Amino acid sequence: MKMALNAWMVCGFQGEVKIGSVIKQIKDMGWDGIELCYGAGELSPSTSSNELKKIREVIESDSLEIPSLATGFYWGCSLGTPDKEERDKAVEFTKTYIETACQLGAGAVLVLPGTVDVCFDANRPIVSAEEVWKWAQDSIHQLIPTAEQNQVIIALENVWSKFLTGPFEFAQFIDTFQSPWVKAYFDAGNCLINGYPEHWAEILGNRIARVHIKNFKRNNGGGTLDNFTPSLLEGDMNWKGLLHTLRNIGYDYYLTAEVIVGDKGMPNMEQTKRVAQELKIILSK
């Protein structure tokens, strides 16, 4: 398997640091790829095709790949909301997101299908799970032609939104589309609060297009956002079991570290370097 990192780790949440200024350091740490973050900084819907071409050339000049794009956009604008104006905005954003991924050579975009609630934003409404399912399906069906045209997978991520909270439900949701362009972006760390990542991976099987990794320390069987850790080796992840399952289901692509908590905030090059060393240890076992 290959190692990638999420760009928030080295560029900050608003893209404060330009991608080109950290590429050499990333390569020297041993990373094989970088998941670029879309929606802020130098990578947004207003970024021109020429600018995208330059970003891709800078990254590939150091023999790095761009396996996927990620975004924080959907926490504030949901594909699964009953609000048509908001939903249409999310659909249009996602079309541009997919087209951008194609231009950058990324084969997948991380997408949140919908949110029942947003635990860190009290201003976001609580939406019934039934409504989220209905409208998220409608939105994603609209997006499949764009994904197919651009040859980019819509990779749905399991997140803390109280939607698609178990692997069977997640698999069922994906299967309803009957499309090779809708798959899972499996976040192994996100399901530690209420399950075992190796079990999720076994059930999701070949639906998994990309994998996010981080660690989480359970507290009396649960926890909060504060229980995510700044280290891959600190927490309750069974790395041996997870990797064994991923290999058994035939997943042999990128593990993308999304370790975005730490005392110094993000970006944090020192922490990123340490996480790279930790991932090498995990993959060597």
Q: How confident is the model at residue 163 (pLDDT cuts 50, 70, 90)?
A: very high
Give the Cα separation of 273 and 235 in Å (integer). 19
Burial (Cβ within 10 Å: 0-12, 13-18, ≥19) of residue 72: middle
pLDDT digits (tens, 9 = 90+) for 173-222: 999 999 999 999 999 999 999 999 999 999 999 999 999 999 999 999 99
> Domains in the chain and their CATH numbers?
2-284 (3.20.20.150)
Burial (Cβ within 10 Å: 0-12, 13-18, ≥19) of residue 130: exposed
pTM over 0.95: yes
pLDDT digits (tens, 9 = 90+) for 30-62: 999 999 999 999 999 999 999 999 999 999 999
Angle between helices 239-248 and 197-204 (to 10 degrees): 10
How distant, in Å, are the alpha carbons of 113, 119, 189, 193, 263 from that of 159? Answer: 10, 11, 9, 11, 23
Q: What's the chain's average pLDDT? A: 98
Q: How confident is the model at residue 14 (pLDDT cuts 50, 70, 90)?
A: very high
| Res 285: pLDDT | 82
| Res 190: pLDDT | 98
| Res 64: pLDDT | 98
pLDDT digits (tens, 9 = 90+) for 252-271: 999 999 999 999 999 999 99
At 15, give phi and psi (nearest 5°): 65, 35
Q: What is the DSSP string of the chain?
A: -EEEEETHHHHTTTT-S-GGGTHHHHHHHT--EEEEE-SBTTBSTT--HHHHHHHHHHHHHTT-B---EE-SGGGTS-TT-S-HHHHHHHHHHHHHHHHHHHHHT-SEEEE----S--TT-TTSPP--HHHHHHHHHHHHHHHHHHHHHHT-EEEEE--SSSSS-SHHHHHHHHHTT--TTEEEEEETGGGTTTS-HHHHHHHHGGGEEEEEE--B--BTTB--GGGB-S-TTSSS--HHHHHHHHHHTT--SEEEE-----TT-S--HHHHHHHHHHHHHHHH-
Give the Cα separation of 179 and 156 in Å (integer). 13
Give the Cα separation of 56 and 60 in Å (integer). 6
| Res 264: pLDDT | 95
Amino acid (one-letter) located at 49: S
pLDDT digits (tens, 9 = 90+) for 126-147: 999 999 999 999 999 999 999 9
